[in-house]
Structure 1
Amino acid sequence: MAHIGHRVEGPPPGLAWVPPDSGGFDHPSIASIVMTVIERDFGKKKRDTVRRFRELLSLDALHEHNIQANPLPYLERASERIFQLERALFEAAQVFTGPVEETPSGETIRIDKLEYERLLRCREIVEQALTEYKNDEEL
């Protein structure tokens, strides 16, 4: 390491001196060292994507390599799962909005107010999801 008052012969290994802006002054200073940071993720983003996809499919970590090597069966599995969820959404929406096929029996059923509010909230969630699905289909 150089001491104050000693002349530095060259930059440390891996660094380069940049001439200072003061013109004619050729003594290197800390401010004149230029370092470039090269970002390397070594495939981290791709591994994170595969890991998230695996977690969405509820698979264990052993499947990550297979997903990366041959994603088609896993994409088909995801597509089937999406189809099943869409079907369940449409069936739930039909229950809430569909025509009443039977005439009311006249029976009175008593439920707790909290349970009724939960049912109404479920209905809102299904209607909102169906609306979002229709909006996505239009795009």
Structure 2
Amino acid sequence: MVRAPRDRASDAAAITAASYRLLAGTPLRSASGRLTTTELSIESGVRRDVLYQHRALLDCFRARVRARHGAAEVIEELIHSREQAQRAYDTVTKAFAAECAVSARLRRMLADQLLELHRLRGITGISATTTPSTAAHMTRSQP
């Protein structure tokens, strides 16, 4: 099986566009958005060996990353902060889902208890407006 030859111009265009997106902090395919050649490969959608065939574009990307000095560090710090916030959000979301499940279970239990209460009131003849203390007094057996 023979592979079709790659279109070097479209690969170069994809790498260039991916480098601009990564440097701008708006990646489309990269999960982390880090300024590395691996992330450039992921963002551009080309294999690493193809990326290294475009050495000039790769060197240009690396030079632009180095030229940013502290800006890259700030972006890396923001990415790390975002990842921490995402993990905290996921934890809170799971806890909220668990609390919702408990709340639903309690609502079902309350509904069951209310049905039982209405059934008992119908049996004993206690009206729905009777207070609990009065109901207890009315259902006691007389000495």
Q: Same fold (TM over 0.5)?
A: no
- Structure (1/2) with the larger helix percentage: 2
Higher relative contact order (CA 8 A, sep 6+): 2
Give the structure-1-normalised TM-score: 0.30
